[in-house]
Amino acid sequence: MPAEGLDWLPDDSVLNDDEVVRLVRIGVEQLGIREVRFTGGEPLVRRGLVDIVRRTHDLGVETSLTTNALGLARMAEALAAAGLDRVNVSLDSVRAETFHQITRRDRLKDVVAGLEAAQAAGLGPVKINAVLMRGVNDDQAPELLRWSLERRYELRFIEQMPLDAQHGWSREGMVTADEILMALEAEFVLQPAQEPRGSAPAELFQVGDGPGTVGVIASVTRPFCGDCDRVRLTADGQIRNCLFAREESDLRAALRAGAADEDIAERWVVAMRGKRAGHGIDDPSFLQPDRPMSAIGG
């Protein structure tokens, strides 16, 4: 997020709770969606989140949440009671000063409390998503892993992608999966984990004799687009068939114009047919999407 923040969407452009649940139900009943993840911005600031989770869980799908964990200490139990299965928490450093530098907030303690509450509420395995940035926290990979293993959190490092609001990403500046693994292997013995990866983005490694693992999501240097089975629905009702899609398909307009479930499902299918084979970050014609990560969700 830029220091000055981003503009809020006008209220009436955001799907209301019933609209969110209806679109999720159409995806589940008509398109075979089996897992729903709530992302952001920050999903914990959504009023009505617990109820949306409950109604989604009642559709018989797995539910999870990606969050910065501020406020999770307060909400973890209610979310678990509503049927939430798991959480992923974004945390790039466990050093107070680096955390402050990255987030511009002095709230590391609240994130730690959120992680503990999630684990106590049974929202596990609790996963931590970390992004290493050169000159900021790229020396902290082993420290993050040690900290996570001690607390039985599953740490995953994610290569930084060109989705920042400032358009400041550069391939040279990015810390690669190879560099991350090299830094970890200076202190830990890593073995490729046995379990099949399927369409999961993380390459998993067992740490030492286990049972702890660490994941590396090499979205840029080892893309896994061929196995990607994800679709994103934005808070304002747009379908994005890829994180890097340059076009979106408007389901909100159809919904508010009174379209039947079948019609909305058909529009959704058409939106997915245009999904490209890969993100094309290495292609000279690559263009960063207009929406930054904080407006798409991870």
Of 201 and 237, nearer to ligand SF4 (C-beta) is: 201
Site string for ligand SF4, 194-233 (x = CB under 6 A): -----------------------------xxx--x-x---
**Cα distance between residue 291 and residue 232, in whole Å:** 13
Of 135 and 196, nearer to ligand SF4 (C-beta) is: 196
Contacts of residue 133, defined as CB under 8 A and 6 or more positions apart, other chains included, come to: 92, 102, 160, 173, 175
Residues written for the chain: 298
Q: Which two tokens stand for residue 136?
A: 């900021």
* Complete edge-to-edge strand list for the sheet that includes strand 35-38: 35-38, 62-67, 86-90, 127-130, 154-158, 213-217, 203-207, 190-192
Calculate the alpha carbon distances from 69 to 98, 154, 235 in Å.
Answer: 17, 15, 19
User: 88: which DSSP letter?
Assistant: E
- Candidate list 244, 248, 252, 291; residue touching ligand SF4; CB under 6 A: 244
- Candidate list 243, 255, 264, 293; residue touching ligand SF4; CB under 6 A: 243
Of 175 and 243, nearer to ligand SF4 (C-beta) is: 243
**Cα distance between residue 233 and residue 255, in whole Å:** 13
> How far apart are CB 210 and ligand SF4 at their closest, in Å?
28
> How far apart are CB 223 and ligand SF4 at their closest, in Å?
6
> How far apart are CB 220 and ligand SF4 at their closest, in Å?
9
> How far apart are CB 230 and ligand SF4 at their closest, in Å?
6
Options 170-178, 239-247, 252-260, 285-293: segment touching ligand SF4 (CB under 6 A): 239-247
User: 133: which DSSP letter?
Assistant: B
**Cα distance between residue 39 and residue 226, in whole Å:** 23
**Site for ligand SF4 contains 37 (CB under 6 A):** no
The C-alpha angle 10, 12, 18, rounded to 5 degrees, equals 130
Options 27-35, 171-179, 240-248, 260-268: segment touching ligand SF4 (CB under 6 A): 240-248
> How far apart are CB 221 and ligand SF4 at their closest, in Å?
13
DSSP SS3 for 65: strand
Q: By the criterion CB under 6 A, which residues form the site for ligand SF4?
A: 223-225, 228, 230, 242-244, 278-279
